[in-house]
Amino acid sequence: MGYACKIQKLSIEEYLKDELTREIKHEYIDGQIYAMSGGTRNHNIISGNLYIMLRDFFKNSSCDVFINDVKLFIPSLNIFYYPDVMIFCDKEIKNEYYCKNPCLVAEVLSPSTELTDRREKWLSYQHVSSLKYYLIVHSDKILIEIYSKDTDNLWNYQSLEQNNDFYVNCHEFNGKIDVNDIYNAVET
């Protein structure tokens, strides 16, 4: 005989409160929480390199750059994610633990998260009206996939390899990103 199991959903308030005391970070999807996996050496170096570059570009702007400890809240989907790196420029909406309106989100791929980053998160991130760039950064080879929103709100795709660069324009502030710099000290 089978047994039914009732799955208890957490409210957003319960999740945010509990997340402060947990040793392992969890993402929140409509009442359910999912533990985050650990990263690799390459994942950490790439995230750090990207954060440092973006932080340097945006240091004299009204934008903040965050690395993997600040959540992204997508209210229309009732979701909280921990992007690897994000740029947030909306100074009027402040919360200590999460942002709602980033300009850029970057996810560094690992074998355990690649499908989630490519499918679930990409579909979810498209619900963030302020988002202009979604970067999928490979950790096992030099390759960055960039989705950028144009003036007609259509998403364009490009992939960049070694010796390429691209521009990030958030709130009238431009920064040039060199792919080689993102992979500095990475073993591929």
Q: For 186, phi and psi rounded to 5 degrees?
A: -95, 135
- Does residue 126 form part of some domain? yes
The 71-74 sheet, strands edge to edge: 32-35, 26-29, 79-81, 71-74, 98-99
pLDDT in tens, 159-182: 999 999 999 998 877 888 999 999
CATH of the domain at 158: 3.90.1570.10
- Distance separating alpha carbons of residues 73 and 97, to the nearest angstrom: 10
Tens digit of each residue's pLDDT (9 = 90 or more) over 85-101: 999 987 766 788 999 99
Identify whether 33 is part of a domain: no
Considering its fold, how many domains does the chain have in total? 1
Cα separation of 47 and 53, whole Å? 10
- 50: closest CA among 86, 89, 90? 86
84's tokens = 């690897």
The domain in which residue 119 lies consists of 41-67+83-182
* 107 belongs to a structural domain: yes
